[in-house]
Amino acid sequence: AHQWRGVIREYFDRLPVEDGDRIITLGEGGTPLVHAPALSELVDGEVHLKVEGMNPTGSFKDRGMTMAITSAVADGAKAVVCASTGNTSASAAAYATQAGLTCAVLVPAGKIAMGKLSQAIAHGAELIQIDGNFDGCLDVARKLSENYPVFLVNSVNPSRIEGQKTAAFEVVDFLGEAPDYHLLPVGNAGNITAYWKGYREYYEDGLASALPTMWGFQAAGSAPIVAGHPITEPETVATAIRIGNPASWEKAEAARDESGGVIEAVTDEEILSAHRWLSAKEGVFVEPASASGVAGLIKKHAAGEVPAGKRWVITVTGHGLKDPDWALQNAGYDDAAPTQVPQDVETVARTLGL
């Protein structure tokens, strides 16, 4: 038996890598597909969660980053740059460290969850907070990579999409078939693009006999694809998807339309309620943005738009420890909430109602 070797080695023949390339990997991918009993009961179907928080830096970004940094190394890059709402920067910083590359990350000032910021800092990235939002950061990162010797590792870099499509391969490999529906959050729209590409490749090669219907969910205050125009001041508690002008907009619409799916909005309230559902009913701890797909399923079920007897896969994109403050607030904890008692068995037993 050997351990999972990371997505490049596991799916070498399906990725644009060459024999002899130095593979930069932290063992990403191979994440669990977790059956969700409470959601399954709710929709009278079979619901599985693709738990991407189990990746090395705690989000799905690692799948794309192993490819992006591996190809940066193959191209002789010395430095990489990305714009990020936090997870991409954490991932880029970690993979660049292994490769020995300088990593610059541009993040919107004050809008990054603490866990993600601490990862970028721990891995020694050059961290620059921009007075602006993610869309502004991406604009600067793109121009920087066009005019200076630095390699862009955002999902506009096609190698990122290539790496991320492996999540769809894993779903089919684990289930033996594509699900009827695949649900996920949509921010910059790279991931929905990548899943659709992965599902289509397996389908075209006869490894899956059907394609799933793709349902993507944006946060209501940051839902440009739903609105049909860019949002100049995107807002949401789900900072990971606080994006007003997604780079892969048309590709996300193509995934939606070719699969007969939808891209809809969920409110912050619905996101936090789904976040609480995942923690309290399924035992799966995610960051707020990651709960958007589940919020979408619950919302559409309430609207009578969820057929019974189907198989659903919902990607939960990042780990709850990335952004633990929301979990405490969401559960109604303030600083004083935990009960403090003396070091005494009877008191503890009484406090627990035993």
Residues that bind ligand F0G (CB under 6 A): 59, 61, 84-88, 155, 185-191, 240-241, 287, 289-290, 317-318
User: Is 189 among the annotated ligand-binding positions?
Assistant: yes
Minimum distance from CB of 135 to ligand F0G (Å)?
10
User: Is 190 among the annotated ligand-binding positions?
Assistant: yes
User: Is 87 among the annotated ligand-binding positions?
Assistant: yes
User: Is 147 among the annotated ligand-binding positions?
Assistant: no
Minimum distance from CB of 89 to ligand F0G (Å)?
7
By C-beta, is 66 or 87 nearer to ligand F0G? Answer: 87
CB 222 within 8 A of CB 246: no
Minimum distance from CB of 230 to ligand F0G (Å)?
15
By C-beta, is 45 or 191 nearer to ligand F0G? Answer: 191
Minimum distance from CB of 188 to ligand F0G (Å)?
3
By C-beta, is 71 or 88 nearer to ligand F0G? Answer: 88
Minimum distance from CB of 16 to ligand F0G (Å)?
19
- What whole-number distance in Å separates Cα of residue 202 and Cα of residue 224? 30
User: Is 20 among the annotated ligand-binding positions?
Assistant: no
By C-beta, is 31 or 188 nearer to ligand F0G? Answer: 188
Minimum distance from CB of 274 to ligand F0G (Å)?
13
By C-beta, is 29 or 190 nearer to ligand F0G? Answer: 190
The dihedral over CA atoms of 234, 215, 106, 286, expressed in degrees to the nearest 10, equals 100
By C-beta, is 45 or 217 nearer to ligand F0G? Answer: 217
By C-beta, is 179 or 244 nearer to ligand F0G? Answer: 244
Minimum distance from CB of 347 to ligand F0G (Å)?
41
**Residues of the binding site for pyridoxal 5'-phosphate:** 87, 187-191, 317
**Residues of the binding site:** 87, 187-191, 317
